[in-house]
Each structure stands twice: as structure tokens, then as C-alpha cells.
Structure 1
Amino acid sequence: MAIAVGQAAPDFKLKATGDQEVSLSDFSGKPLVILFYPLDFSPVCSVQVPDFNNRLADIKAAGAEVIAINRDSVYSHNAWCKELGGVDFPLLADMNLAVSKAYGVALDAGITTRACVIVDKDGKVAFSHVEESPADNTLPVDKVIEVVKGLN
């Protein structure tokens, strides 16, 4: 079961693209959009992540930062980013699914389900959307921007 709205978002520290380590606490005092997605190079993910990247300026203008997390390695993330033509937010490697489990979005198949969690400036979950059927239920970026604007 996914993390509940109002709950404190579990902190984490993971290796990420750009040769960096990223933690939830890095974004303290600012809303954060966390995209969880199943796999690099997969068809739906290869649309969703670029959609968020194309609207990153709008999300930042609304007051939030964006990160994305799945179980793939940083090496996979870097190769996928290159194939996509670049991604301007960090992709984090949750290789043992510890963060995905903490947020309730790890699947028995050993991957992360598609989900979006928005953490408010105080570190609490303000919004959580877990997708049951990606083809019919992929969260539009406009909805994310609307939620973020409502936090300010």
C-alpha cells in the first residue's frame, strides 16, 4: 500500500545521474515531485519522463523540484538519458528497492510501480498517485503542476 497523504515522507540517500548523491533532505523547505517508474527504456516510461522534462520549467515556476526513482543502476539511467536526448532532473538508482518499499510502490516482480508522490515543504506527503493501469491512468503533468501550485 502506497504511503498516505499527511505522513512524513521517508528520507533517503541514493546515487543519481550527474555523478551525485541525492537525498530527500536536500529539498527541505521546498515541494518535491518524486516520480517512481518501472524501468529505463520501457515504452510508457520513455514517454512519461520526457513529458515531465519538457514541463520542468513550469513545475519549477510552480515552486517544486523533480526527481525520478526506479531500481535501475546509474549506468542504465545515464545511457537512457543519452538516448532520450537528456533529462534535466536527477534519476535515482534504488537498486535494492528500499526507497520504493518505504513509499509502498515496490512490486513483487522486483520493480517499482508507476507512481507520483508530492512532498510539501515540511516533508509531509501532500499527494500520492499510484497507477494501476499505465495505458489508461498515466498522471498528466498539468495535474502535478496544479497540486504543486495549491501547496504555495
Structure 2
Amino acid sequence: MDESLGIRLAEAADFDSLQAIFVRASLSNAGDRDVLLANPDALVLTPDRIAQRRTVVAVTDTGTIAGFASSGAITDDSVELDDLFVDPSMMRRGIGRRLVDAIAADARRRGLTEIVVTANPHADAFYRSAGFVELHQVSTEFGSGARMSLAVTRRRPA
């Protein structure tokens, strides 16, 4: 895990970097590339979550944004993890996990007990390694995925 990373709230000035990471990370997965290229609207990020202060970014000590995560809808006890993207050049360094930890810390501060996500099949292993458990399978716009949950009131596996 890269300890020199900082986690902070995203700012409006970060939007272009987040859009670029979103596209690069989305297209880096060979299993999704063709369907995404055939549906370019799926590769457009909106700045709403930044304005709502629901996006956190991982920033290197040189100021480069390495990845981001956005939380979405909040229910009585859970928050939706809407976005989690790491620049492909920075993957497999613990950045995604640090971003999940930041969303989890915010959920705990809000008194919530879980994070829920609909996981792309290609990200399933990551989410499981981060402590998420599968609830059930769901249909998505481009196929199926696993509806997963992470309890944030107890410590996740290391």
C-alpha cells in the first residue's frame, strides 16, 4: 500500500482529471472495452457528486490524482458506492482499498452500518478482498453483476 497518498474531498478543478481516469480505467478492462466503446455515453462522468461533496480523491505526494470514489444514495443504514476508479498506471498499489476505507469512515461518521455496491464481474475479486460479501446477482445495463455489502461497524479482514 502506498502510504504517501493523501485522501481528500474532490474539488471542481479535479473534474477533468477524474473524467480522464474514469475513461482510462473503464477501458483498461478488456472484458468491458467493446461494450463501452459501442456505448460512449457510458464513458461520461458528471460533476454532480463533486458539487455534493460525495467524491474523494487519492492524491500522490506530487499532486497527481491516482483515483477516486463517489458515494451515492443514503438509506437509513447504508450508503451506495457509486464510483471507484483508479488510474491503470497506479492499480494494484492499495489505492482502491484506501478509497473504500475513506467512504467507510464517512459512513461510520454518519452512523451508517454498511456500504452497498453493484460490482462489475471484473471487479468482483477486488470487492471480495476488500471485505464485501455478495448479497445476490442483479441485472445491469450491460449484463449482470453482484450486489455486495460491506459492514462498516466492524473491522474488515486485513
* Same fold per superposition (TM over 0.5): no
Give the structure with higher Rg (CA).
Answer: 2
- If asked which structure has higher relative contact order (CA below 8 Å, sep 6+), I would say 1
What TM-score comes out, normalization by structure 2 length? 0.28
What TM-score comes out, normalization by structure 1 length? 0.28
User: Which structure shows the bigger proportion of residues in helix conformation?
Assistant: 2
